[in-house]
A and B are shown apart, each in its own frame.
Chain A
């Protein structure tokens, strides 16, 4: 591939909002489906184990983690499938347990909407499933 052509292709920003399909070895899937599975089925369990290591947070990393914790909390609001809820719940439990994360916003996390009890209650009331509070 010529260097110029390489640079042109490098400059292309693939917009996954277009929701094209990706053909993998095991079939064709919409890219939005793939990112959803990636976040909830792989990233969340990885974060559960990463936070479980209880690594110290350096002073220059505090701001990053505050922002990161906010993003995770927002991602939790979009969990819909029961299997994803289970993985999200495990992550929230670890986040709430790790002392290092208290200073970067873990105390505002809640398991509400991720547990079966909450779902059952809502089902009985006939309402929709609630998601964790954002603030």
Chain B
């Protein structure tokens, strides 16, 4: 009850601010930035409520009241300094390379999502998105930071919640207008359709076409390209049931000759040489951090390789279940000889191996057509490669258990 009252009060206040967004959002003056900062904090609070947290502690104390007891002047000084830091942050460059906000492990808090729906909290974020005043903004960085938080809230608001997904689907065209800014508007659209029956009733093809065209236009070394591509998998399955027509559409679009910058696989001599160089780059990083304590023991997967990993996974998802059309196209794109060569080169790069084995499984093992004799021998060679990883895994686990 206490939560309901507090949230109701905050949402009412936020709605008032959102309705006047044109007067403060993107205005780089102190007072307006303060309004933006407060608004962001409240949006973050709403976002946090949508996520399941065990033993959540909510502070209902009125900070204003509390500060009256303290020395007023000292408090004001401290507050100013604190606010100054936060406001500067609002003016700093907005990051167009943001990763996706939801992780597999994170669970939604269904009750709180319902509470926020009943309070129409989503309307606050919609009002912000509808403002679309970027062209007239004094400072587009602070504008985009508020906009980004509005999207993040909506992403968590719809996540795994059928009713909330249905509410937001009517705003899809509005969200599509923000595709160029980061990944969150596309992430929101993907979350609206994830495991939703809307995949059956809503014509999502024009939206997919537009997004794939955008993905194609982005350079491979950008995180945005990889992240946006990864969301396409959400449209190919409804629970465990593959949506054959969407699998086929997405697979054909991303492998089409007109989408030259989507298709990036390590095939043929040149492709395998590229992959080899990426693996050597990672080995180089490994040798550096193992010999020098000053380095963080972290190995970064090169962005182009990350993109290919997601691309292989996408093709694999398009072949899930039995789909002869996508299986044939994917086999054409990544022949079994090249898969074997990729697997041998992948060595310690488990995210790549993960994608390759998944691809092999859905495109060559679990298929609609019969397996050719030629492929049977290659499959056996693939199993031999896998056996090395299992052996390695068993050795590591045994050593860990005995330590």
Contact = CB atoms under 8 A, between A and B. Distances in A.
Interface of A: 1, 6, 9-10, 12, 14, 16-18, 20-28, 31-32, 34-39, 41-43, 45-47, 49-50, 52-53, 55, 61, 64, 67-68, 71-72, 74-75, 78
Contacts, number: 140
B361 interface: yes
A6 B361 contact: no
Which of A35, A46, A75 is packed against the most chain B CB atoms within 10 Å? A46
Interface residues of B, number: 55
B76 to A, nearest CB: 40
A1 B277 contact: yes
A24 B380 CA distance: 30
30 contacts: A16-B396, A18-B290, A20-B286, A22-B349, A25-B223, A25-B226, A25-B301, A26-B99, A27-B99, A31-B350, A32-B396, A35-B389, A35-B392, A36-B393, A37-B350, A38-B389, A42-B361, A46-B360, A49-B361, A50-B383, A52-B366, A55-B371, A55-B379, A55-B380, A64-B387, A68-B387, A75-B390, A75-B393, A75-B397, A78-B393
Contact of A61 (B358, B380, B394): B380
Contact of B358 (A21, A34, A46): A46
Contacts of B326: none
Given A25-B99, A32-B396, A53-B365, A42 B358 contact: yes
Contacts of A61: 380
B386 A43 contact: yes
Given A12-B283, A34-B350, A50 B384 contact: no
Interface in B369-403: 371, 376, 379-380, 383-384, 386-387, 389-394, 396-399, 401
Contact of A49 (B348, B366, B393, B399): B366
B353 interface: yes
A72 B366 CA distance: 20
Interface of B: 99-100, 103, 223, 226-227, 230, 277, 280, 283-284, 286-287, 289-290, 297-301, 306, 309-310, 347-351, 353-354, 357-358, 360-361, 365-366, 371, 376, 379-380, 383-384, 386-387, 389-394, 396-399, 401
A27 B98 CA distance: 11
Contacts of A67: 387
Contacts of B309: 24-25
Q: Which 7 A-B pairs have the closest CB atoms?
A: A46-B361, A49-B365, A34-B350, A14-B348, A20-B297, A49-B366, A23-B300
| Majority SS at the chain B contact face | helix
A22 B351 contact: yes
B350 A35 contact: yes
Contacts of B100: 26
A21 B351 CA distance: 12
Nearest to B227: A25
A42 B354 contact: yes
